[in-house]
Structure 1
């Protein structure tokens, strides 16, 4: 409880940052190979050089700095550093190969690795550009720490703490290393299923690969300016919707589903997702029709289903022009984006489990009015009793999430953007959804680009680790004697 009273060991953080750079260098080799296949030789050289520099830096750090056992506080800092650092490393080759300003390239890489989908793409993007950002979304979806755990880290306390910070206490295998590899296998299988579906729909191989990587990671980058709206017919939106839902379900649930398929529908998060999708589709269709019901609702329904699922799962594909929507439609999508999918999935937002706990807490408050004061009524989700400390953490997270959202939207409003669009854009970034009203473009002010970058990063690492990263007490020991006496007294 008092671990953060003492500062973190920066050398321990740096040591495992070396592991991170070494693994991420392999990630950069994939765009290099893609550039060779696509005939973009100069880009292949750029990505190959970047991979070599990243690997060399990682090896050098590991050679110079001795081994450390990672404490929980250092694992938190590493989780906070991972996405900003990897975005920075990947932004350099993207800026050089695509001819983008560095800030725009960094924004694109943050959006990719956080699986958001907001874009500052140049006027004439190459095929490599589209593939690279979809590939980075796929990597960001499974989580870079999973790659580190599955490839480089030995079983032990450090592996457990890294896993705990990123995925919590639940495991599908006895060890966290085996669990990380199992989750990676599940992710790969889901990707192959999604790719097969899109190929079956008639989409070309290149576009199927790009959309599969973005759909299963609930990222939402498309090779088309109109997103999924550029494709005719029913099959492609339908299979994309299936892929979004697969990515929004907790990966730890899939091994259980193989043993007992009924586990899927019994899971409270899945049931809430289906319920919200049905209710949300009806409400969104109502806002699209302007409150009118009738035969025209049938024509709206396919777009309403697709857009509701895309927003709820935090994917960010679209089949309609978001900018032309009414404020009511934008407000609805903003709210449903903030909910997100299951904990343990690739989605962002508050997450369904936290929503379920809040709903159960409200229910319990009203229920207790009819019970004696001495009655014991634990808060439960299904058969699981929720610890009071977990409730405090959930309520703190929701409060921080709301504060960040309001503050970010306020900055947008200072630039003359109306409240509906400001809330929509910042909700999309913080929920790592990626839907846009058109505000996000290369010509937007640099401060707003940085605000959206911060929102995307906060949404991906779930706020607390990034806040801890910037706390002075994380890095510097308190010199106040009063503070020291208070800590000793509390511990005693």
Structure 2
């Protein structure tokens, strides 16, 4: 935070926003191609026009501004601005092609780019809309910034700071660009595998592609109003659950497993993922049994637990009919989320492992002499004070945002249980809904949930830094 005593270099941030706009212009050409293949020439026109204007604006910014070296604070602000900016741009063709009010199109776009899956769209929006939404989730899963790093940005300090601000991880290859390209290859590979398996499970080509894109990105948008529950074949939810787990695993694990398959069993986060999934299944099952009016099989229960924990948000049942205890169980899983370095949202399993270890560490210190130097370790890795502070602050802010957002929903007449569930889903970038989110909800609530989705995807601290006066103004408090 001390680095933000001086404001950011707005020209440097603007220069890299130019890069992002040019990249996103290329991203928008994919829905153009899909619209042409589907024979929807009107949608192709609107997406093409948006792509051209976005690309021209990005190129103009790129040409006018000189090259700058990004500082860490500039990279943090860039990461915070990327998703809201891209959401605004993509909501324009989405509104024009479907006739949705702009606020609804913006909500849908934010939900897509943050890989959430909450929806206020009409059920008859058409196949181009369904594909573009799934495509936006896939791009949002890997992150437009990582795409820009792999294509435009040269290796160096700026690239490293952007990567660090966006992912919070150290590069797994010698350079950031080689790291992002490796992550991209892994992402494409598991998407192709998921799509192929969905085809084999009985889906049509269109459905398989759309669900392949939205399951690996743990996005949750489906081509059917009833989500996965409308597909009768038992292999469909099983395949989607596998694809969601693949997306919720830290991508750094994949190249390690290729070299040494034993790394799967040794990975702490993955081990705890399955332990939490098992415990969550037992709790969810027990809560369902308390209501004899709801009959769910083991497969449906396990699928819903995996969908919540991976923050994918697919469903095989109507969440609004669940008892409050079941909604509470799923809310807890949505809070937890998947692995760091994955497409999943939530607090993340590693942070919770650190907090649990920190609690144990504090109690152990009572039995040691005060002068004893005892570094805090997790599986042999020393957790530095700065990292502990960031994790603690992140979790505290997460809880505060849930409380404040829930209270706003309650002020508009939504019951406590449903309000907590909906906010947990938005902040965890999950997409499960208790029936609260729809086109008729007040605009203020749509904006609250949009803000929660953006906070969950960008991980709170960077986007809150945008609202600090000293970020922009010299000498501000």
CA contact (8 A) 2:114 2:454 kept: yes
Structure-to-structure mapping, 1:118-157, within 5 angstroms: 118-157=118-157
Could you tell me how far apart the structure 2 residues matched to 1:63 and 1:172 are? 32
Structure-to-structure mapping, 1:363-374, within 5 angstroms: 363-374=360-371
- Partner of 2:413 in structure 1? 416
- Partner of 1:40 in structure 2? 40
Which consecutive segments of 4 or more residues in structure 1 shift more than 6 A? none
- Note the alpha carbon deviations across 1:332-361, whole angstroms, 9 max, x for none: 111110100000000111001101001111
TM-score (norm 1): 0.95
Could you tell me how far apart the structure 2 residues matched to 1:216 and 1:289 are? 31
- Partner of 2:71 in structure 1? 71
1:184: how far off?
0.5
Is 1:350 the equivalent of 2:357? no
- Note the alpha carbon deviations across 1:380-402, whole angstroms, 9 max, x for none: 22121111111111000000111
Q: Secondary structure at the match of 1:370?
A: coil
- Partner of 1:9 in structure 2? 9
Q: Secondary structure at the match of 1:124?
A: coil
CA contact (8 A) 2:202 2:233 kept: no
Could you tell me how far apart the structure 2 residues matched to 1:71 and 1:388 are? 22
Q: Secondary structure at the match of 1:423?
A: helix
1:166: how far off?
1.1
Could you tell me how far apart the structure 1 residues matched to 2:8 and 2:364 are? 44
Moved more, 358-367 or 26-35: 358-367
Could you tell me how far apart the structure 1 residues matched to 2:240 and 2:28 are? 26
Structure-to-structure mapping, 1:441-452, within 5 angstroms: 441-452=438-449
Q: How many residues align?
A: 476
CA contact (8 A) 1:171 1:252 kept: no
Is 1:458 the equivalent of 2:455? yes
Could you tell me how far apart the structure 1 residues matched to 2:236 and 2:150 are? 33
1:300: how far off?
2.8
Could you tell me how far apart the structure 2 residues matched to 1:465 and 1:52 are? 30
Q: Secondary structure at the match of 1:251?
A: coil
- Partner of 1:289 in structure 2? 289
Is 1:230 the equivalent of 2:230? yes
CA contact (8 A) 1:217 1:247 kept: yes
Is 1:330 the equivalent of 2:327? yes
- Partner of 2:62 in structure 1? 62
RMSD of equivalent CA atoms: 1.4
For structure 2, the 5+ residue unaligned runs are none
Q: Secondary structure at the match of 2:426?
A: helix
Could you tell me how far apart the structure 1 residues matched to 2:65 and 2:142 are? 28
1:363: how far off?
1.7
For structure 1, the 5+ residue unaligned runs are 484-492
- Partner of 1:208 in structure 2? 208
- Partner of 2:108 in structure 1? 108
Inter-CA distance 328–101: structure 2 relative to 1 (3 Å threshold): same
1:291: how far off?
7.7
